[in-house]
Amino acid sequence: MDTLTIAGQQFQSRLMLGTGKYRDFEVMKEALEASGTEIVTVSIRRVEVGAAGHVGILDALDLSRYQLLPNTAGCKTAEEAVRVARLARALTGTSWVKLEVIPDAAFLMPDPIGTYEAAKVLCEEGFVVLPYMPADAVLAKRLQEVGCATVMPLGSPIGSGQGIQNRASIEVILKSVTAPVVVDAGLGVPSEAAQALEMGASSVLVNTAIAEARDPVRMAAAFRDAVKAGREAHLAGRMPVRENASPSSPVQGVVRLMNPEVPV
Amino acid sequence: MDTLTIAGQQFQSRLMLGTGKYRDFEVMKEALEASGTEIVTVSIRRVEVGAAGHVGILDALDLSRYQLLPNTAGCKTAEEAVRVARLARALTGTSWVKLEVIPDAAFLMPDPIGTYEAAKVLCEEGFVVLPYMPADAVLAKRLQEVGCATVMPLGSPIGSGQGIQNRASIEVILKSVTAPVVVDAGLGVPSEAAQALEMGASSVLVNTAIAEARDPVRMAAAFRDAVKAGREAHLAGRMPVRENASPSSPVQGVVRLMNPEVPV
Amino acid sequence: MDTLTIAGQQFQSRLMLGTGKYRDFEVMKEALEASGTEIVTVSIRRVEVGAAGHVGILDALDLSRYQLLPNTAGCKTAEEAVRVARLARALTGTSWVKLEVIPDAAFLMPDPIGTYEAAKVLCEEGFVVLPYMPADAVLAKRLQEVGCATVMPLGSPIGSGQGIQNRASIEVILKSVTAPVVVDAGLGVPSEAAQALEMGASSVLVNTAIAEARDPVRMAAAFRDAVKAGREAHLAGRMPVRENASPSSPVQGVVRLMNPEVPV
Amino acid sequence: MDTLTIAGQQFQSRLMLGTGKYRDFEVMKEALEASGTEIVTVSIRRVEVGAAGHVGILDALDLSRYQLLPNTAGCKTAEEAVRVARLARALTGTSWVKLEVIPDAAFLMPDPIGTYEAAKVLCEEGFVVLPYMPADAVLAKRLQEVGCATVMPLGSPIGSGQGIQNRASIEVILKSVTAPVVVDAGLGVPSEAAQALEMGASSVLVNTAIAEARDPVRMAAAFRDAVKAGREAHLAGRMPVRENASPSSPVQGVVRLMNPEVPV
């Protein structure tokens, strides 16, 4: 049975979901259900400050079904992220944390230095750290070395829906680390999730693409199927890419129709 | 219920399969089964000349389950294709035909002129014509006008596995015709099939990507799921693509952690 | 000396220019000058009907310096295009014609069937025919066979500035014909013109990218340099594309710094 | 006059060149000459250890014409890079250094953490630091903040010739820093250099694409022209990219040819 293992825990689903931007909790819960996800991320900072859409979210989630993955969204420095991670553990009881250190609200790009520093501290404190990061192979290797449970390179800017814009960089990450690679941020449609899995990524994390779809629940189911398809395709072993055409049937067998008896 | 309608006939599956290049008929049959396909194409010319891998293929297919789609692979001119189509109807009893007019064995690119001429003749003779064609919007419209049941633009050269290399051209086709658009040729992995459906294609035809996978049956199932995912995503309505990042949660709710009482 | 030969005539420049969309004739003339172009296309239909921006254009061009290339823009059928080409010859004295058969004003895509039919007629009547066409290798070969002087596949839709969206198809054209391949339509910036030449195209035709630049004259000069660069690069023979990194210097020569005497 | 300013020094050329991989010094010198470059990078480590192709290289360069840019290629850690930079200053008299910290010889990807640490030390010691780096906007901003003179994101892996594979990431860098952005590594043909300049990069650094061309001197001249074209295009202001076609001449002026007098 093909399963995803993170920090010794096994999952059937390779699709992680965010909880932001949903119209209401009902739609969110149905989308989570339809997606088949087993790992759900929640912004603890926003829970803590009572931000719109985050009040009551922990109650709205059936935590017997999902591995909760608190995240440090909104943290601009390593120090803030470490504090928020500790707060998350205190509030939720889980030591899993999706580490986000994002200094700049305009482009929402992760800080490699701050992420690395916070990851070192949190790993030492026994957290299960899943760091959001730029698509940078050396950073991925370093984060693995300090004990991160996964690496989570971005496909393109958060919430942009541009898909995988840095495929070449992610391919080098896939060759550089043994930890599960989770493509996080930027995916806009299910085919892009399938593409990540086909390349060899272990999982993807999706939020906006589902929450902002016209029909989020239907889209969640589509992502579920696409992630399964991508993973199965990876295991099935793809055909080679060829520069030129190759006929679907042996050309040598093709001769001119000669027989005047054939009723054509 | 979302169904694909071609020439008045309804299908649940949007994945058409070819029958070339399989190791043997057993693997082929299992792959067809796993794919959920309902439309299967067979090279009549190769059946007729007894080419390797084509002897007995019509017997190997359970034609009570599949709409047979004889194709004119190997025909270099409109005249040849018309003759082979008539032969196919005589041999198989179906008037469906996948029209291929391919003058050059090196690149296997379809001839727009010959395809158009043969399509006119065959449509007038009552065939259900599904023409393989370059990704050319005006040609697509013309083929629709002479009565073709679908149009089948290529994603990239046959058997190349390059995926959809002419996305912009296929998008114009999708805006130019009302007939079902079937992306045919070039798909290498399931994500590329999903992408075609997400764009609005009605169906895809796959052969080499399944037959040449390390595990063809597993790959067939992956294509089945990806096609379903792509279609559902199309119906669910994708998020917009944005040039810049957009936070997953409202930024205005993010304030500094102030409360010294919070146990961090 | 590397020259472009079309219909027995030799050119130093590989950049053809259109004359539409300029603010006024002065800017147009300066842009033509800055571009170094030797072949200039003008819409004869619009000249004939006295359309805005086309009155007096033939007088505005110094025809002793440029090979005039009348085009059949605005023609929706082969018949119209043939009539307009004859009119152009009568009005201008040149038998060169850029053949455009474009049935649909929404997407401005060329009609392969109408283009082919008109090309046959015009070649028989002794015109030097440069047909605008979809990026279709078999059509290119057929147009060459009926006597066209070049083939002019589109890079992307006219005036879109999307660049070369169908690179794979143009590469097959380049392998399929011996006539000069001129990438026409869709180029938005000089790098895209250089790319066409690097791939092996003999020339490019540019209009909107120069006429709609903030500074058309400066942009014209940039295209001149880029076309030259692309051609020279093609002749210089590019490095291979590699899947992985390759150090700029031999790795075997890299040893640890050992000498404690070195003043570091 | 448009000039590139780095650390208060002005340059006419926006093309930096490497010195590795050339057949011999003669070809290298001719290529440098043909390229018009004013900034030339040399691996000091390889000079120091007497690696093949690096013995005598400093003598082979006319340093009255070029700003020498010693680089720390071959250094795997910040400490090594700092030592080699100091050595370079001692050997050459220049305080300019292209900082490379590359732990892994397989993929030759730069280490963001080590690069940042070394940059801090070297900037404090008064070096003019041009750091090679992953295409990471936050890192770029941090390197600018510690005093780097430029940032040098990679387009794709060193020596791969894949061109600009992470365009979206480089665009965010261009919006995030005011320091000159030099696209370094991965460029394979001049069009890719032009593209970098068109996007707004201030300069590019090229080595393998010239040294491994069939005719390096001719390719060097092509890069010179392409870089100029790209820069001029950037200053000239490109046309917008449009989703759909846009006619080169006003459509409203196009009426049917009605006049039976017209001699067509």
Answer yes or no: is pLDDT of D17 > 90: yes
Is D155 annotated as ligand-binding?
A: no
Those residues whose C-beta lies under 8 Å from the C-beta of residue B26, and which sit 6 or more positions away, are none
The answer to whether residues A115 and A133 touch, using CB atoms and an 8 Å cutoff, is: yes
**Residue tagged 């038998």 (tokens):** C95
Is D185 annotated as ligand-binding?
A: yes
Answer yes or no: is pLDDT of A62 > 90: no
Residue A196: which of A225, A230, A224, A169 has the closest Cα? A230
Is D263 near chain C, with CB under 8 Å?
Answer: yes
Mean pLDDT of chain C: 90
**A247 and B189 in contact by Cβ < 8 A?**
no
What is the DSSP secondary structure assignment for residue A36, as one 8-state letter?
Answer: T
Answer yes or no: is pLDDT of D40 > 90: yes
Coil, strand, or helix at residue B241?
Answer: coil
The minimum CA-CA distance between D68 and chain A, rounded to whole Å, is 28
pLDDT for position B247: 67
| Catalytic residue, candidates A21, A29, A98, A120 | A98
pLDDT digits (tens, 9 = 90+) for C36-86: 999 999 999 877 777 777 778 888 888 889 999 999 999 999 999 999 999
Mean pLDDT of chain A: 90
Q: What residues of B act catalytically?
A: 98
**D109 and C245 in contact by Cβ < 8 A?**
yes
Q: Which residues from B are below 8 Å from A79, CB to CB? A: none
Coil, strand, or helix at residue B39?
Answer: strand
Q: Kind and range of the H or E element at C139? A: helix C137-145
pLDDT for position D244: 72
- Residue spans of the domains in chain C: they are 8-238
**B156 and C168 in contact by Cβ < 8 A?**
yes
Q: What residues of C act catalytically?
A: 98
The minimum CA-CA distance between C82 and chain D, rounded to whole Å, is 9
When pLDDT is cut at 50, 70 and 90, the band that residue A77 belongs to is very high
CB atoms within 10 A of CB B140: 28
Q: Which residues from D are below 8 Å from A142, CB to CB? A: 111, 113
Coil, strand, or helix at residue D163?
Answer: coil
Residue B94: which of B119, B60, B130 has the closest Cα? B130
Architecture of domain C8-238: Alpha-Beta Barrel (3.20)
Q: Kind and range of the H or E element at D129? A: strand D128-133
pLDDT for position B248: 63
Q: Which residues from A are below 8 Å from D137, CB to CB? A: 104, 107, 109
Burial of D240 (0-12, 13-18, 19+ CB in 10 A): exposed
Least confident of B64-68, B147-151, C97-101, D55-59: D55-59
**Residue tagged 């057929």 (tokens):** C142
CATH no. for A4-239: 3.20.20.70
**Cα nearest neighbour of D115 on chain A:** A113
State the Cα–Cα distance between residues A222 and A209, nearest whole angstrom: 11
The answer to whether residues A97 and A116 touch, using CB atoms and an 8 Å cutoff, is: no
The answer to whether residues D97 and D60 touch, using CB atoms and an 8 Å cutoff, is: no
Q: Which residues from B are below 8 Å from A51, CB to CB? A: 249-250, 252-254
The answer to whether residues A126 and A158 touch, using CB atoms and an 8 Å cutoff, is: no
**C191 and D209 in contact by Cβ < 8 A?**
no
Q: Kind and range of the H or E element at A227? A: helix A216-236
Average pLDDT over residues B159-185: 93
**A166 and D138 in contact by Cβ < 8 A?**
no
Those residues whose C-beta lies under 8 Å from the C-beta of residue A30, and which sit 6 or more positions away, are A216, A217, A220
The answer to whether residues B159 and B108 touch, using CB atoms and an 8 Å cutoff, is: yes
Q: Which residues from A are below 8 Å from B223, CB to CB? A: 229, 233
Give the count of Cβ contacts less than 8 A between chain A and D: 99
**Residue tagged 């449970």 (tokens):** A149
CA distances from C221 to C61, C218, D194, D225, D226 (A): 18, 5, 14, 11, 11
State the Cα–Cα distance between residues A13 and A4, nearest whole angstrom: 7
State the Cα–Cα distance between residues D165 and A169, nearest whole angstrom: 8
State the Cα–Cα distance between residues A217 and A37, nearest whole angstrom: 12
pLDDT digits (tens, 9 = 90+) for B99-132: 999 998 888 999 999 999 999 999 999 999 999 9
pLDDT for position B153: 97
**A166 and D162 in contact by Cβ < 8 A?**
no
Least confident of B61-70, C4-13, D29-38: B61-70
Answer yes or no: is pLDDT of C159 > 90: no
Answer yes or no: is pLDDT of B183 > 80: yes
Answer yes or no: is pLDDT of D176 > 70: yes
pLDDT digits (tens, 9 = 90+) for A116-133: 999 999 999 999 999 999
State the Cα–Cα distance between residues B137 and D169, nearest whole angstrom: 34
Give the count of Cβ contacts less than 8 A between chain B and C: 99
Residue D130: phi and psi, rounded to 5, are -115, 95
174-193 of C, contacting D, C-beta below 8 A: 188-192
Give B10-238's CATH code, choosing from 3.40.50.2300, 3.20.20.70, 3.30.200.20, 1.10.3720.10: 3.20.20.70
Beta strands A39-43 and A67-71: pairing type? Answer: parallel
**Which two structure tokens, joined as six digits, stand for C142?**
């057929």
The minimum CA-CA distance between D213 and chain C, rounded to whole Å, is 5
**Cα nearest neighbour of B104 on chain A:** A245
Determine the angle formed by the axes of helices A190-199 and A216-236, rounding to 10 degrees: 20
Is D108 near chain C, with CB under 8 Å?
Answer: yes
What is the DSSP secondary structure assignment for residue A252, as one 8-state letter?
Answer: G
Q: What residues of D act catalytically?
A: 98
When pLDDT is cut at 50, 70 and 90, the band that residue D1 belongs to is confident
**Cα nearest neighbour of A175 on chain D:** D107
Q: Which chains touch C (3 or more CB pairs under 8 A)?
A: B, D
The answer to whether residues A204 and A193 touch, using CB atoms and an 8 Å cutoff, is: yes
**D264 and C83 in contact by Cβ < 8 A?**
yes
Residue D98: which of D22, D154, D173, D55 has the closest Cα? D154
The minimum CA-CA distance between A22 and chain D, rounded to whole Å, is 27
**C195 and D198 in contact by Cβ < 8 A?**
no
Average pLDDT over residues A242-252: 62
Residue B176: which of D156, A106, C134, D216 has the closest Cα? C134
**A109 and D138 in contact by Cβ < 8 A?**
yes
Mean pLDDT of chain D: 90
What is the DSSP secondary structure assignment for residue B263, as one 8-state letter?
Answer: -
Looking from the CA of A229 toward its CB, the CA atoms found within 13 Å total: 33
The answer to whether residues D41 and D18 touch, using CB atoms and an 8 Å cutoff, is: yes
CA distances from C37 to A75, B184, C224 (A): 56, 41, 8
Q: Which of B162, B232, B235 to mutate to test the interface with A (most CBs of A within 10 A)?
A: B232
**Residue tagged 């694909």 (tokens):** B4
| Nearest CB to C245 within list D21, D73, D157 | D157
**Which two structure tokens, joined as six digits, stand for B75?**
């025909």
What is the DSSP secondary structure assignment for residue D263, as one 8-state letter?
Answer: -
CA distances from B224 to B12, B233, D16 (A): 11, 14, 51
Q: Which residues from A are below 8 Å from B80, CB to CB? A: 257
pLDDT for position A255: 29
Q: Which residues from C are below 8 Å from D232, CB to CB? A: 190, 218-219, 221-222, 225
pLDDT digits (tens, 9 = 90+) for B206-258: 999 999 999 999 999 999 999 999 999 999 999 998 887 776 654 433 322 33
Those residues whose C-beta lies under 8 Å from the C-beta of residue C247, and which sit 6 or more positions away, are D20, D73, D105, D108, D158, D159
| Nearest CB to A242 within list B74, B160, B198 | B160
Answer yes or no: is pLDDT of B24 > 80: yes
When pLDDT is cut at 50, 70 and 90, the band that residue B51 belongs to is confident
**D113 and A113 in contact by Cβ < 8 A?**
yes
35-64 of C, contacting D, C-beta below 8 A: 43, 45-46, 48-54
pLDDT digits (tens, 9 = 90+) for C105-138: 888 999 999 999 999 999 999 999 999 999 999 9
One-letter identity of residue A58: L
pLDDT for position C247: 67
The answer to whether residues C188 and C163 touch, using CB atoms and an 8 Å cutoff, is: yes
Looking from the CA of B27 toward its CB, the CA atoms found within 13 Å total: 19
Q: Which residues from C are below 8 Å from B103, CB to CB? A: 138, 141
Residue A56: which of A32, A26, A30, A31 has the closest Cα? A26
pLDDT for position A247: 67
pLDDT for position A248: 63
**B229 and A18 in contact by Cβ < 8 A?**
no
Per DSSP, the residues of B49-116 read: HT-TTTTTHHHHS-TTTSEEEEE-TT--SHHHHHHHHHHHHHHHS--EEEE-----TTT----HHHHH
**Which two structure tokens, joined as six digits, stand for C44?**
């004869």
CATH no. for D13-236: 3.20.20.70
